[in-house]
Copies of this chain bind each other. A is one copy, B any other.
Amino acid sequence: MCAVRDVCVIGLGLIGGSVLRAASAAGRTVWGASTAQADVDAATADGFDAGTDVAEALGRAAQRDALVVLAVPLTAVDDVLRIVGMHAPNCLLTDVTSVKGPVAESVARLAPEARYAGGHPMAGTTESGWKAGTATLFEGATWVVCLEEDDSVAHDGTGAASADLTAWREAATLALDAGARVVAIPALAHDATVARTSHLPHLLAAILANAAASGGPIAGALAAGSLRDGIRVAGTRPELVRAMTEGNRAALLPVLDEALGMLGAARGSLASTGGLKVTIDAGHDAHASLAAAQDGPRTPVTLDLNAPDAREGLVSFGLRGGWFTALDGDTLRGEVA
């Protein structure tokens, strides 16, 4: 275990560039590579070790047993994993894409010997590219580092990559170095949850914007705060929204069905009895419970990474909404609602 392990970042856009800066600010030796010349030039101009030769960067990572961070768009992950499989097949590996099940499957297929723990830092802006990044982008943000409840899951023929605890610790340490709070949950739990907490909000915002704009120019004049809030994320770059939602198709479909069912039930109730009490009361209660989970009092917790049940403890804690904010020796410190 080396708390100051080197970090190699592939992809130097907003997220990758911010990871590189944050790791450097935390005292790590860092280097990066990207096929986007503009990002490489900008990173180099800012004094970072960056180039366009991904294979070379990964070879160096293998040589120095560095932590490799894949920070490319979901659609480019497979291509880069093939290079990982060739030039750093046994590396410690994490990524920062917004879906975790599909990436774990790609790792199992294309870099099966990598010591991999998938990651998802939940931070971002509407900007993109190296120049939009900062060393502090992840401060206070939630950063999921995936861990399966049973390590054997990785080897039972499902094709999922092993979420090795060493890899989890390395990826979590990087996240903590960047000032994030770390959540340990299985890949499929991550994907199912972000379908509800991020992808459905984006789709409903798009549909709300469409429905409002169909009202013509008067709709703009009468737009209430409820509309402005409701459509804000419809202003996100469409290619980013498509990447996250289409990439999480398997988990998103049942959530869309739930939303369709609830909206249809509300429509039916309004048409038949004229009432919307069930929908509106339930929404109000749900809002209160989410607010309590986010902003309510939290209890401090510690967890020993060397305990025999550390894996089960980490996942159980994550699924209860707990997160960690520090690692002292082998002791994780965190809090849960």
Tell me the bound Cα distance from A116 to B237 in angstroms: 47
State how many angstroms separate the Cβ of A61 from the closest Cβ of chain B.
29
Q: Are B290 and A274 in contact (CB under 8 A)?
A: no
Tell me the bound Cα distance from A257 to B271 in angstroms: 11
Tell me the bound Cα distance from A102 to B246 in angstroms: 43
> Which residue of B216, B256, B282, B322 is within 8 Å of A270 (Cβ)?
B256
> Which residue of B201, B215, B245, B289 is within 8 Å of A227 (Cβ)?
B201
**Given A229-B230, A230-B201: A293 and B210 interface contact (C-beta under 8 Å):** no
Tell me the bound Cα distance from A80 to B293 in angstroms: 43
* Interface residue? A333 (CB, 8 A): no
Q: Are A319 and B246 in contact (CB under 8 A)?
A: no
* Interface residue? A208 (CB, 8 A): yes
**Given A198-B224, A276-B245: A286 and B253 interface contact (C-beta under 8 Å):** no
**CB neighbours of A64 from chain B (8 A):** none
* Interface residue? A83 (CB, 8 A): no
Task: Given contacts A144-B222, A242-B276, A249-B274, list 11 more A-B pairs with CB under 8 A.
Answer: A201-B224, A201-B227, A217-B320, A221-B293, A221-B321, A238-B280, A249-B270, A253-B267, A260-B260, A260-B264, A260-B267
